[in-house]
Structure 1
Amino acid sequence: MRVNLRKEQVLMVKEAEKAKFLPHGAIQVLIFFGLFLVSQLATSIFVIIQMLYNGTTEIESTGPFNLFIFGVFSFIFILYVLLIEGRSTKSLGFSKRYAIKDYVIGYLVGIGLFSFIMFILYITNSMNYEGLLGGGTLLLVLFFLGFIIQGMSEEVMLRGYLMNSLGARHNLVIATIINSSIFGVLHLLNPNGSVLSILNIILFGVFASVYALKFSNIWGIGALHSAWNFVQGNVFGLEVSGQQMDASILKFSANGNELLNGGSFGPEGGLITTIVLIIATIIIYNLKLNRAAYITK
C-alpha cells in the first residue's frame, strides 16, 4: 500500500494528539524560540568552560565539542515535551519498532544522497579534488559521534517536537511549512550564506519532514541528517552550512560557478543541491511503505 501523509496515518502525530497541553500554532512557535533561547543560554555555560580550559577568549565553532553540546538542546526540548505537553516519547518519533532498521537505512541514504550531489558536482567540473588528507583518527571519530548527536538533536527540535505538535493541532502541510521555515531562519547567521543557501536549508527541512512523516519516526531522518553533515565536512572536507570542519579524510574545493556548487557556504548553497533535494522529496513522498499495522496500533 502507499501511505499518504495524513494525520491518521502517522503514528507519532497520532500520539502527539494525546498531549495534555497543545497550544495554538502561533503560541507553539513562540514556545519553540523560548526553548531555543534557554538551550542557547544553557550551552553557553559549557562554552565558557571550554574557553577557560583552552585558555582562550575565542569561541570554537567548528570542533567536535560544539557538536556534543547539541545534546543539551535535545534534553531541554524532550523535557518540555514530556513534562509540560504531557506527550510520550513515541510522539517525538522515538518508537521502538523499526528503530535500528530505519536508523541504518537513514544513515546509508544520507551518505548516498550527499555523495550523489558530489558526483554531479565533480563530473560537471564544479568541484576540484585536491587530495587525501587522512585527518586525525581520534578527531574523526569524535566528529562522527558529534554529528550523530547534532543531527538527531536538530530533528528532535524541528520534527519530533515542533512539527508533530503543530501537526496534531492543525495539519501536516502547515506543520511542514512552519518547521522548515524556522529551520532556515536558524541558519540565517551562518557564514557565507545567500538567498539560495537559505532556500536549500528550508528545502532540506521539507525533505526531512516528509521523510519523518513517511516513516512515522525520526530515527531515519536523524541518521540521514547526521550522515549528510559528517560526509560533507569530514569525508569530503567541505564547509557544512558555511562552517569548515577541523578534520577530514579527503579535500575537495569549489570550482567555477558558485550558483552550482555553493561556493564558500558549501554544496548546500548550490543549485545542484536544490534540484537533488526536490527530486529526493518527490521520491520519498511517493515511496510505497507498508506500515498499516504499525500505524494503527
Structure 2
Amino acid sequence: MTGVSAAVGRLRPTWRVVLYLPAYFFASLVIQIPLFVAWVIVLALSGQTPPARLEDIPLIVQVLSAGASLVAALGITFAFRRFVDRRPFLDLGLRITKGLASEVIIGLALGLVLIAGVFFIELGAGWLAFDGFAWESRAISSLVTSLAGWFILFVCVAIYEELVFRGYVLQNLEYAWGPLVAALGSSVSFAVFHALNPGFGFLGWVGLIAAGLLLAYSYLLTRALWLPMAFHLAWNFAEGPLFSFPVSGLNTSGLLEVRPVGGDSLLTGGAFGPEGGLLGLLAVTLGGAILWAWGRGSAKSAAQQEIST
C-alpha cells in the first residue's frame, strides 16, 4: 500500500495530516524566530534580559507572536489545500452561510456562560477571594489597551487553532476514518499542541482532549468553523482577561481581581486553569449537551420549514 491514492493521484488523507502538522509548526517557528530575536536584541541594547516566565513577555510581543502563528496557519493550510488536497481552501468550513450569525452568537454566548459558571461556583465555594475590579487600581486607558490586546491575541488563537485542528486535521482524518476517529485524533493533536504549557499534567490532557472533542462536535454539527472559532474565542477571553483564570497555564491580567484561597486543584485545575480540573471538564460536558439540544432544535425547525414549503 502506498501513501498515494491511485484513483485521484492525491496523497492519502492520513499522510496529508502527518506532513501538515510539522509543516505548520516549522512555518510558525520560521516566522516567529526573527520576531523574538529582534525583541531580545532590543532588550540587550537597553541593558535588560528576557523574562523567565511566558506570562512576563510584553503583551505586544505575545500579540505579534499570535499574529505570526495565524499567518503561518493561513499560508500552510492554503498551500496544502491548493497543492496537496487539491480542494478549495474555503471548503474547510469558511464559506459564508445563512447560519453564520446564529453560530457565532451561540459560540460566544456558550463560551462566556460556561466560564462564568465555573467562576461563580468557585467564588461561592470560597475557593476564590474577590479583591475588586481592575479599574479601581489601574488607569482606564491602560485597562482598555490591555483588554484590546488580549482580545486581538485570542482572536488570532481561535482562528489559527480551529483552522489547523478542526479545519485541516479533523476533516482529512474524517475523510479517511470517519467522524469518531477524526474527532479523537484531532483532539489528541490539539492537546499535544499545549503539552509544553506551564502546569500541564494528566488532567490537562483529559481536559484539553475533552475541549477538543467539544470543538470537533461543534464543527461536525454545523459543517463550518464559525461556531468553534467563536466558542474558542469566548472561552479563552472570558477565562483570562475577564475572570482572571489561567488560560491553559498562561496568566493574563484580568478585569476582576481575584486570587485562589482554597479548593482542590483536582477540581479547579490549579495553575493550569479550568481546563486542568474537574469543574472545567463538567463545563465542557455541559457545553456538549447544550450544543446537542441546540442541534436537535435546529434540525427540527429546518424539517418543519421544509414540510411547510
Q: Tell me which interval the TM-score lies in, with the shorter structure as reference length.
A: 0.7 to 0.9
Which has the larger displacement, 78-87 or 156-165?
78-87
Give the whole-Å Cα distance in 1 for the aligned partners of 2:196 and 2:43: 25
* Aligned counterparts of 1:284 and 1:96: Cα–Cα separation in 2: 21
Alignment partner, residue 4 of structure 2: none
Report the equivalent of 2:5: none
Residue of structure 1 in register with 2:89 after alignment: 89
Give the Cα–Cα distance (whole angstroms) in 1 for the partners of residues 43 and 109 of structure 2. Answer: 36
* Partner residue, 1:29: 18
- Distance, in Å, in 2 between the alignment partners of 1:20 and 1:111 is 45
Asked if 1 retains the 8 angstrom alpha-carbon contact of 2:20 and 2:80, the reply is no
CA contact (8 A) 2:130 2:258 kept: yes
CA shift for structure 1 position 27: 5.0
Partner of 2:50: 58
Partners of 2:19 and 2:80 in 1: how far apart? 15
1:45 aligned onto 2:29: no
Amino acid aligned to 1:100? A
Instruction: Identify the residue that residue 274 of structure 1 maps to in structure 2.
Output: 281
Provide Cα deviations, 1:197-216, integer angstroms capped at 9, x if missing partner: 12101100000000111011
Higher helix share: 2
State the alpha-carbon separation in 2 of the partners of residues 77 and 213 from structure 1. 23
Give the aligned residue type for 2:107. Answer: G
In the TM superposition, what is the alpha-carbon distance from 1:88 to its structure 2 partner? 1.6
Structure 1 residues 278 and 101: alpha-carbon distance in aligned structure 2, compared to 1, 3 A threshold = closer
- Report if the CA contact (8 A) 2:28-2:68 is conserved: no
The alpha carbon displacement at 1:81 in A equals 3.4
Does residue 206 in structure 1 map to residue 213 in structure 2? yes
Instruction: Output the TM-score relative to the length of structure 1.
Output: 0.83
- Consecutive unaligned residues of structure 2, counting only runs of 5 or more, are 1-7, 304-309
Partner AA of 2:77 in structure 1: I
Residues 89 and 193 of structure 1: is their aligned pair in 2 closer, same or farther, counting only changes over 3 Å?
same
For residues 211 and 259 of structure 1, the distance between their equivalents in structure 2, rounded to whole angstroms, comes to 27
Structure 1 74/27 Cα, relative in aligned 2: closer, same or farther at 3 Å? closer
Quote the Cα distance in structure 2 between the aligned partners of 1:53 and 1:142. 21
Three-state SS of the structure 1 residue aligned to 2:10 is coil
After TM superposition, the structure 1 = structure 2 runs for residues 246-265 of structure 1, keeping only pairs within 5 Å, are: 247-254=253-260, 255-265=262-272
Give, in whole Å, the separation in 1 of the partners of 2:9 and 2:215.
27
Q: If the length of structure 2 is used for normalisation, what is the TM-score? A: 0.80
Q: For residue 132 of structure 1, report the CA deviation from its aligned partner.
A: 1.1
Distance in 2 (alpha carbons) for counterparts of 1:23 and 1:256? 48
- For the pair shown, the structure with the greater C-alpha radius of gyration is 2
Aligned residues: 274
Gap change, CA 1:48 and 1:72, over 3 Å in 2? farther
Deviation (angstroms), 1:30: 3.9
Per the alignment, residue 80 of structure 1 pairs with: 79
User: Residue deviations 1:88-137, cap 9 Å, x none?
Assistant: 23321102012233223311221112111212222222333232113521
Distance 1:216-1:260 versus aligned 2 partners, 3 A rule: same
After TM superposition, the structure 1 stretch with the greater mean CA deviation from structure 2, 255-264 or 74-83, is 74-83
Contact 1:166 1:174 in 2 (8 A): yes
User: Which position in structure 1 is the counterpart of 2:118?
Assistant: 117
Residue of structure 2 in register with 1:8 after alignment: none
What amino acid maps onto 1:28 in structure 2? V
1 or 2 for the larger relative contact order (CA 8 Å, sep ≥6)? 1
Gaps of 5+ in 1: 1-18, 293-297
